[in-house]
Amino acid sequence: MKGRIFVVSGPSGVGKSTICRELVKQLDNIYLSVSTTTREKKAGEREGKDYHFVSRDEFERQIKAGNFFEYAEVFGNLYGTPKDKLQQALEQGKTAILEIDVQGAQNVKKLYPEAKLIFILPPKQAELQKRINGRGRDDGKDAEKRIQGAGAEIAAAWQHYEYMVINDDLEQAVEEITQIIK
């Protein structure tokens, strides 16, 4: 495989999707992996664009079929990185970006030690809460679960990730990650 893999993780609402979309716009030769998930589709999300939404049965069938490069259970739902498209992108020499959780990142590192792991941090906790609520995507219970999970995710991350980037000013965060990739 000729291409490179960059993993982008961070607590829910920190700005991962926003940053990754900017990277795709600004850089050439980028492949942004679209994960498969069993979680329900939220308002504004599109099949095949944000995720491939499938049932748990279908996800389990795909695990057995060996379709995933890695997968993990996050907040009670399964999420996985489709293997075929990733392999294809790497063979074409593309830079692949995987927006996945901390467990997924560790699995990727085992499978592909050259992968670089980038963790996105919020400027402060209150800002994370504001972004999750402002996104208007999660109901109260879901938002609470995500805010609660943020501390543990950050604590688990620092020893495994090669780069930490604070997403305060979006443009600056995108520029920092661009420099890491370059």
User: Is residue 72 a contact point for ligand 5GP (CB under 6 A)?
Assistant: yes
Which of ligand ADP, ligand 5GP, none does residue 176 bind (CB under 5 to 8 Å by kind)? Answer: none
Candidates 63, 111, 152, 170; binder of ligand ADP (CB under 6 A) is 170
Strand partners, 47: 51
CA distances, 149 to each of 60, 94, 122, 136 (Å): 25, 32, 14, 18
Residue 4 has what DSSP assignment?
E
Candidates 3, 15, 80, 104; binder of ligand ADP (CB under 6 A) is 15
Q: How far is the CB of 98 from ligand 5GP (least distance, A)?
A: 7
Q: Which is nearer to ligand 5GP, 37 or 182 (CB)?
A: 37
CB 149 within 8 A of CB 76: no
Binding track, positions 120-149, relative to ligand ADP; x by CB under 6 A: -----------x--xx--------------
Candidates 3, 13, 80, 104; binder of ligand ADP (CB under 6 A) is 13
Please classify residue 126 by burial: count the beta carbons closer than 10 Å to its beta carbon, then call 0-12 exposed, 13-18 middle and 19+ buried: exposed
User: Is residue 89 a contact point for ligand 5GP (CB under 6 A)?
Assistant: no
Only one of the segments 13-21, 36-44, 63-71, 149-157 lies at the binding site for ligand ADP (rule: CB under 6 A); that segment is: 13-21
Q: Which residues touch 105 (CB under 8 Å, ≥6 apart)? A: 7, 9, 117, 160, 161
User: Is residue 100 a contact point for ligand 5GP (CB under 6 A)?
Assistant: yes
User: Is residue 81 a contact point for ligand 5GP (CB under 6 A)?
Assistant: yes
Place of tokens 């604070």: 166
User: Is residue 12 a contact point for ligand 5GP (CB under 6 A)?
Assistant: yes
Q: Tell which residue, 101, 116, 112, has the closest CA to residue 71.
A: 101
> Half-sphere exposure of 54 toward its Cβ, with a 13 Å CA cutoff?
18
Residues at the interface with ligand ADP (CB under 6 A): 10, 12-18, 131, 134-135, 167, 169-170
